Amino acid sequence: MAEEEYRKIELIMALRNQGIRDTNVLRALERVPRENFVPPSFVDQAYDDQSLPIECGQTISQPFIVAYMTEKLQVGDRDKVLEIGTGSGYQTAVLAQLCRRVYTMERYRTLRQAAEQRLADMRMVNVTYLTGDGYKGWPQQAPFDRIIVTAAAPDIPDALVDQLKEGGIMVLPLNVQTGELEKPYQQIVRVTKTEYGLEEETLIDVRFVPMVPGVAREM
């Protein structure tokens, strides 16, 4: 067995031990070669359960967080999913294993183009890409069954709520307001859109890069 396969199996077992129970999510992570999504200097750490730096000052999320957020998103095989923050394309690739189509947005053109090439090389054909402002979402393709945001926002963006179907679910990290002497942190929140408004569920503490409006000048 190749070393990557052995380390991948160890990671999947560790995720199960941390409470990830959705077998479809675990299988999706098992099928996606994380070593394809990290810089060459970090390939030996591809299956460590930690976030890693990528280009443009961004990160590839810790595998547990990818699995956790995906599990909480409750993706079905007929769902249309909007992802805000393509990054390396790793979370995109996991989602693409689970749903009908992923629409993924990235404010850095270079990141988007690199992710698009990676997933094309992996023959993932159910992903559509856009360089754009995540706060504005993708109204031309709305509504979406599911929305996932992979950067921390101060509040739930109104445009994303508008683009979520009734009955749809959005999972995103939000900044938590703290006192002057307290260290700021973030929490993952799951939002369900009902006919009466939004139902919000606070989940776990996390650390994500900030969600920044606009398209990046560094392209």
Structural domain contains residue 215: no
Q: For the packed helices 63-73 and 3-17, what is the interaxial angle rounded to 10 degrees?
A: 50
Note the pTM of the prediction, 2 decimals: 0.94
186 assigned to some structural domain:
yes
Please compute Rg for the chain using Cα positions. Answer: 17
pLDDT for 183 beyond 70: no
* 65 compared with 182, residue with greater pLDDT: 65
93 burial (CB, 10 Å; 0-12 / 13-18 / 19+) is buried
What is the per-residue pLDDT across 16-63, written as a single tens digit (0 to 9) for each?
999 999 999 999 999 999 999 999 999 999 999 999 999 988 999 999
Give domain status of residue 77, yes or no: yes
CA atoms within 13 A on the CB side of 202: 7
Note if 88 is an active site residue.
Answer: no
Residue 162 resides in a domain: yes
Q: Does residue 90 lie within any of the structural domains?
A: yes
Q: CATH number for the domain including 195?
A: 3.40.50.150
Query: What digits encode the pLDDT tens for the residues 195-212?
Result: 999 999 999 999 898 898
pLDDT in tens, 124-141: 999 999 999 999 999 999
pLDDT at 177: 75
Does 212 map to a domain? no
Distance set, CA 183 to CA 84, 96, 172, 176, 180 (Å)? 26, 36, 20, 10, 8
User: How many domains are contained in the chain?
Assistant: 1
Considering the candidates 41, 51, 61, 88, report the single residue annotated as catalytic: 61
Question: Has residue 102 been placed in a domain?
Answer: yes
Residue 217 inside a domain? The answer is no
Residue 105 belongs to domain spanning: 3-206
Please give the mean pLDDT across all residues of the chain: 93
